[in-house]
Every structure is written in structure tokens, then in C-alpha cells.
Amino acid sequence: MKTMIFPGSFDPFSLGHVDIARRASLLCDRLLVAVMPNRGKNPVFSVDERLEMARRCLCDIPNVEVISFDGLLVDLYRSHTACAVIRGLRSESDFRNEAEMAAANRLLCKEYEVLLLPCRMDLAYTSSSIIREVAYYGGDISGMVSPAISEFVRTRLQERNERH
Ligand code: PNS
């Protein structure tokens, strides 16, 4: 049973994330999509909202499970006896960050392996922060997030705009 982990802050889950999860699900028996905290980021959506969004976007992929985990990625990796972590790559700067994270994780866990999947070119320039910004100002995010969550993302960011 090959388990892979696709971790991220997913704030919110983008079409790029859906594409990576779909492709990764074909490479393993079980793909755990893990909503995790990134200490360098202050999320807009709660963990429960991010879990719900990821589940709605991925509900048609049978071997995907969406979980949340607050801790070190290597601890999650070990506890599920995973064989690889999946990360999407959009750009050279992503590659540098990923190489740094992989090196740190490898120091913490010698079995740690990571597969970097280049993301679809048409989605290479969207990010969760761009989605949040466009939705905050009432722009059209339909090309950036799944229809399963676009209304929720739009409403949530609009509320935030009105409060500020
Ligand atoms: O979607 P993101 O924000 O790029 O995801 C980054 C994430 C959550 C995968 C990363 O911050 C992470 O692994 N956090 C868990 C804590 C951890 O293990 N940190 C050490 C990584 S070097």
C-alpha cells in the first residue's frame, strides 16, 4: 500500500492544487491531502473551512483522504509510513523553497522523499494569495478555483472586505 502525502496551507484550495492532487492520486494507492499550518503565513480561512473546501474539490477522487495536522511534516510522514511527499512547482523560486524544505526534512527523517510535480502552465501564475486578493475586491475567480467552492470563497472574502 503506497501512501503519499500532499501537504499545504491551502488557503484556499486552488485549481492548481486540484490538478496536482488528481495527478498525484494516480501515482499511489492512497493520497493524504494534509491541511497544515505554515508558520510564515497567517491564514484567512480556518482549518475546518480549508478541510471542507479541499474535500468538496476532491470528492470525486476515490483514493484521496483530506486531513489536518498541526506538527512537523516528517512526523505525519512517519506515522503513515508514507513513501513520498508531493509538492507542486510553479516557478524557479518555488524550486528553491522546495529544495530547502526537502533538505531540512531529510535531515529530520532519513526515509523522507519528495516528488515535485510541475504545475499546469495555464495555472502556473495563480496562487492562493492572488485568489484571496481578487475575491476580496470582487473579481472573477472562476478560472482559479473549483466551482464547488467559488461561491464560498467569494462570499467569505467579500465579508472581510466589508468589515475593513
Ligand atoms: O502551501 P504551503 O504554505 O507552501 O505549505 C507549506 C507547508 C505547510 C507544507 C510547510 O510549512 C510545512 O511542512 N509545515 C509543517 C511544519 C514543518 O514540518 N516544518 C518544517 C518544514 S522545513
Report which residue type is found at 92: E
Per-position pLDDT tens, the chain of length 164: 999 999 999 999 999 999 999 999 999 999 999 999 899 999 999 999 999 999 999 999 999 999 999 999 999 999 999 999 999 999 999 999 999 999 999 999 999 999 999 999 999 889 999 999 999 999 999 999 999 999 999 999 999 888 88
How confident is the model at residue 163, as a pLDDT?
86
CB 7 within 8 A of CB 76: yes
- Rounded to whole angstroms, what are the CA distances from 82 to 1, 24, 144? 9, 13, 30
Where do the domains of the chain lie, and which CATH numbers do they carry? Answer: 3-122 (3.40.50.620)
Q: What spacing in Å lies between the alpha carbon of 65 and ligand 1's midpoint?
A: 18
Position 84 scores a pLDDT of 98
Q: Which of 4, 6, 9, 14 to mutate to test the pocket of ligand 1 (most atoms within 8 A of CB)?
A: 9
Residues within 6 Å of ligand 1 by CB: 7-9, 36, 38, 41, 72-73, 101, 104-105
| pLDDT tens digits, 24-65 | 999 999 999 999 989 999 999 999 999 999 999 999 999 999
**Under 8 Å CB-to-CB from 146, ≥6 apart: which residues?**
13, 15, 18, 56, 57
- How many whole angstroms separate alpha carbon 120 and alpha carbon 50? 22
Cα angle, residue 24 at apex, residues 23 and 25 outer, rounded to 5°: 90
> Measuring from atom 2 of ligand 1, which residue has the nearest CA?
8
Binning the chain into helix, strand and coil, the percentages to the nearest 5 are: 45, 15, 40
- Pair 71, 77: CB distance under 8 Å: no
